[in-house]
Amino acid sequence: MAGRKRVSVAVATGVGIGAIVGAGIFVLSGSVIALAGSAWLSISAFVLVGIIAMLVALELGELGSIFPNSTGSSYSYVYNAFGKGAGFVTGLMMYFSYSAGVAVIALGFGSYLAGMLGLASGFYPAVLGIILVLALAIVNLLGIKKAAGLDFLLVLVKICILIAFAAFAAFYAYSKGPSNFFSVSSASGGSTGNLLAAGITLFFAYTGFQSISTFTSKIKGGAKGAARAIILSVAISMLVYVMVVVALLLLAPASSYTVGMADPLAFALKNAAAPSLLLIAVGIGALVATASATLSWLLTASRVMYQIGADGLIPRSLSVYDRKRDVASNATILSAVIGMLMLLLLGNIYVIASIANFGLLFTYLMMSLALLHFIRHGRRGTFRMPFGTFLSLITIAALVLFLYGLSVYSLLAGGAVAILLIIIYVSGVKRRPPFK
């Protein structure tokens, strides 16, 4: 997407869907079902979080229209609203969350590939995930990036595969008896607490749409076009998510899914003794989806780090940008290293996603406050969030609830990082001038 060539709203929407679907349905859906504790709470979690993600998308759409040339997404909006201090903390929290997200999606890739190769579980998924991150970082540094048009084509292929998956699930359920087609399997238990736990984990899966806001100026129609792409990507992804989670529950009872499961679609198909051809097709779709999403998250992380550096909040070396290849070189290397270290040291989908979630929720909370700030001061974009103040307050309340529902470990770790960043900023970062 370098140069003057612009991408259409449809293609930009495809980029967003690619980042969302790869990060979520192929990797985290099994953990979400396990945490929800019942079929209907699982479905409710996907719908509820989809609605909250839509509200965040509307906010992002308006902020993107206020700052159409920004490449730092939420960080840039907070920086412009509240200054360097809030921008520094928000930007680095966002950066580390996206770097952790790279590890989550890459581990999903490794799990599917290990299963297709017949490798025993254990360290193989993490090793294969590390190889993927390393390969994508090298490809990115060489400037051999996938075109946005190719991303759109890959999204169509992935959705077709998921439709085939859902169709098989419907046939499988109907073959067991007409009544089973309408009664989705459920585990015993389930409560509001389960719904909150599942929703918090799932929130990570919806956040890929932010990748669109890092290239707003390159989308046809500018800020309005980017806003439409963001909203469409969330809406379409929510429909796909609900379709697939229902299929998962038709193929296997909710009680059979476990927290930390990284290849839920393959598990469900094996449970239903699906044809090997469908298993291979879904496996290939999962590999394409997770590899595509890993690259998208890697690019978003590096662009955010570049913008933070351009604003003079981190050492100049981290803001090195190769304009010929359209890549933030050093930021890409650092993002890949963080992702690979998390895979090496942690190697668990749920644990890494929990670490990423605190930063993402904090970032979106600050972004929501930034939009309220601009609305209060009469600064609105060419795209306006309907009922801006009211819906922003609803979004803030939902994000605070999700933060409250995080594990004590996640809150302590995230809070400690935020305090450390504030200390670093006060110690000298605030005196740095922006780079010219």
Averaged confidence pLDDT in the chain = 81
Q: Which helix (H) or strand (E) holds 356?
A: helix 349-376
User: ∠431-433-435 over CA atoms, to 5°?
Assistant: 150
Residue 2 pLDDT: 42
* 7 DSSP β-pair partners: 219
17: pLDDT strictly greater than 70: yes
Residue 334 pLDDT: 87
3: pLDDT strictly greater than 50: no
Alpha-carbon 336 to chain mean position: 16
Q: 68-72, 102-106, 174-178, 246-250: which has the minimum mean pLDDT? A: 68-72
**Cβ contacts of residue 335 below 8 Å, gap of 6+?**
95, 98, 99, 102, 137, 298, 301, 302, 305
Q: 79-83, 129-133, 218-222, 337-341: which has the minimum mean pLDDT? A: 218-222
* 327 DSSP β-pair partners: 322
397: pLDDT strictly greater than 90: yes
Which tens digits make up the pLDDT trace of 279-338?
A: 888 888 888 888 888 887 888 888 888 888 877 787 777 777 777 766 777 888 888 898
Q: Rg for the chain (alpha carbons), in Å?
A: 21
Mean pLDDT computed over 6-19: 79
433: pLDDT strictly greater than 60: no
369: pLDDT strictly greater than 90: yes
Give the predicted TM-score (pTM) of the model: 0.82
pLDDT band for position 1 (50/70/90)?
very low
Q: Which one, of 426, 364, 350, lies nearest residue 395 by Cα?
A: 364
Give the separation between CA 242 and CA 388, rounded to whole angstroms. 27
Which tens digits make up the pLDDT trace of 151-206?
A: 677 778 888 888 999 999 999 888 876 555 455 555 445 577 788 888 888 887 78
* 219 DSSP β-pair partners: 7
Residue 166 pLDDT: 92
Give the separation between CA 259 and CA 214, rounded to whole angstroms. 32
Contact 312, 433 (CB under 8 A): yes
Alpha-carbon 85 to chain mean position: 25
374: pLDDT strictly greater than 90: yes
Q: Which residue has the tokens 């290990």?
A: 114
Residue 167 pLDDT: 93
Domain boundaries, the chain: 9-429
At residue 252, φ and ψ (nearest 5 deg) are -155, 145
Q: Annotate 123-144 with three-state secondary structure.
A: CHHHHHHHHHHHHHHHHHHCCC
368: pLDDT strictly greater than 90: yes
Determine what percent of the chain is predicted with pLDDT higher than 90.
11
Residue 266 pLDDT: 87
What amino acid is encoded at 123 in this protein?
F
Give the separation between CA 68 and CA 6, rounded to whole angstroms. 14
Distance set, CA 289 to CA 52, 206, 229 (Å): 23, 14, 19
| Pairwise pLDDT comparison (352 vs 395), residue with the higher score | 395
Distance set, CA 108 to CA 111, 159, 284, 288 (Å): 5, 18, 12, 11
Give the separation between CA 137 and CA 295, rounded to whole angstroms. 8
Mean pLDDT computed over 246-259: 87
Its CATH class, for the domain covering 9-429, is mainly alpha
Give the separation between CA 384 and CA 370, rounded to whole angstroms. 14
Between helices 192-206 and 29-36, what is the axis angle to 10°? 170
Alpha-carbon 313 to chain mean position: 25
Which tens digits make up the pLDDT trace of 41-59?
A: 888 888 888 889 889 988 8
Contact 91, 308 (CB under 8 A): yes
Mean pLDDT computed over 127-154: 77
* Structure tokens, 401: 């609830």
Residue 384 pLDDT: 85
**Cβ contacts of residue 199 below 8 Å, gap of 6+?**
45, 48, 49, 52, 402, 405
* Structure tokens, 227: 């806003």
Q: Which residue has the tokens 């965040």?
A: 56
- DSSP code per residue over 61-116: HHHHHHSTT-SSTHHHHHHHHH-HHHHHHHHHHHHHHHHHHHHHHHHHHHHHHHHH
208: pLDDT strictly greater than 50: yes
413: pLDDT strictly greater than 70: yes
* Structure tokens, 399: 């994000």
Residue 14 pLDDT: 81
Contact 91, 75 (CB under 8 A): yes
Contact 360, 203 (CB under 8 A): yes
